Amino acid sequence: MTAVTAETAAASTYQARFDAAVAADERIEPRDWMPDDYRATLIRQMAQHAHSEIIGMQPEANWITRAPSLRRKAILMAKVQDEAGHGLYLYSATETLGASRDELLDKLHSGRQKYSSIFNYPTLTWADVGAIGWLVDGAAITNQVPLCRCSYGPYARAMVRVCKEESFHQRQGYELLLALSQGTQAQHEMAQDAVNRWWWPSLMMFGPPDDASAHSAQSMAWKIKRHSNDELRQRFVDICVPQAEALGLTLPDPDLRWNEERGHHDFGAIDWEEFRQVLKGNGPCNEQRITQRRRAHEEGAWVREAAAAYAAKSASGGSGAPHESAASEGSGTKSGEAQVEATA
């Protein structure tokens, strides 16, 4: 037997073992053999998920310095901190596939990898912070809960942790909107206006319709994805309708109504042209978001170089004693959620 055929035979044994593991709902772990395309798909999806956490800090951080009460300010700071933390776990999980964080950030900064289209919309009023919590985090959770059972172990485990914190943020966003909705007339109007602006972009977070979704079938076969885009979108609409009623707010869709026969809500057509434009970089904030991210990275270059130079000197016994890294999550770091609860 030549070396080439031996290799082919080995590869097909590996492939069979992989297929059997996926079929049996076993977890694929970093040291396991996996098809190249599976690895590449996961790197793309997980990196874009991490990027979304990082870019997603911007629209909310936009309101930290203007939050109208100290309690709300603490909640918002904690949330933005949690998002940075989620970005960190997701980059770590992606690194188990052989990618490096620097390389992934470089792809984000150069536009070769994307982030969720939703973060290209602006936060124009305080109520947008609540609408993001309720709708955007709500849509993210609907998407991410099934990922807790994803076939790739490190991703599934990261999702368990992320989903817990996201659910907490979503409840806080809902509660923020409720306070506005039940507040003064001006506050109520602010809440309704925010929901009007965030509803359709939130529905777009589930991605293109099933018949136009390029990666869906393969991702479902690999059990990276468990449900189709349209299935998840429908689930989200069905969850939101009664919540909007409880909030005393309306959803901006004249075609939205209960369909007895299907046992689901029918809803109006999504503006897929707008979605395509946002994905292509022509949304309201695409330019601004990526520019800020790049600027933070470029302006921080001297800081990272200093840390590397100092670490090298310390390691070689030069000036400065070696120290525990305070740059990594320090001993005093706890989740933002825990911090706000502790001070509430």
Partner 1 sequence: MTAALALGDDALVLSHRLGEWAGHAPVLEEEVALANIALDLLGQARTLLSLVGDEDELAYLREERAFRNLQLVEQPNGDFAHTIARQLYFSTYQRLLYGQLAAGDGELTGLAAKAVKEVAYHQDHAEQWTLRLGDGTAESHERMQRACDALWRFTGEMFQPVEGLDVDREALRSAWLESVTTVLKRATLTVPDTADTGAWSAGAGRQGLHTESFGRMLAEMQHLHRSHPGASW
Cα–chain-centroid distance for residue 153? 18
Nearer to partner 1, 130 or 201 (CB): 130
CA angle centred on 80, ends 79 and 86, rounded to 5°: 90
Closest approach of partner 1 to the CB of residue 32, in Å: 28
Of the residues 1, 3, 5, 65, which one makes contact with partner 1 according to CB under 8 A: 65
Nearer to partner 1, 39 or 73 (CB): 73
Nearer to partner 1, 60 or 253 (CB): 60
Q: Are 173 and 130 in contact (CB under 8 A)?
A: yes
Nearer to partner 1, 255 or 299 (CB): 299
Contact status: 317 vs partner 1 (CB under 8 A): no
Phi/psi of residue 173, each to 5°? -65, -45
Contact status: 239 vs partner 1 (CB under 8 A): no
Interface with partner 1: number of residues (CB under 8 A): 70
147-177 CB burial, b ≥16 within 10 A, e <16? bbebbbbbbbebbeebbebbebbbebbbebb
Q: What is the DSSP letter of 26?
A: P
Phi/psi of residue 17, each to 5°? -65, -40
Give the tokens for residue 284: 């309201």
Which segment (13-21, 53-61, 156-164, 235-243) binds partner 1 by CB under 8 A? 53-61
Contact status: 316 vs partner 1 (CB under 8 A): no
Contact status: 288 vs partner 1 (CB under 8 A): no
- By CB under 8 A, the residues from 124 to 163 that bind partner 1 are 126
Give the tokens for residue 188: 């109520």
Contact status: 4 vs partner 1 (CB under 8 A): no
Closest approach of partner 1 to the CB of residue 296, in Å: 5
Which residue in 22, 264, 72, 254 sits closest to 172, CA to CA? 72
Helical (H) or strand (E) element with 238: helix 229-247
Binding residues for partner 1, per CB under 8 A? 54, 57-58, 61, 64-74, 77-78, 80-81, 84-85, 87-88, 91, 126, 176, 179-180, 183-184, 186-187, 292, 295-297, 299-311, 313, 319-321, 323-334, 336, 339-340, 342-343
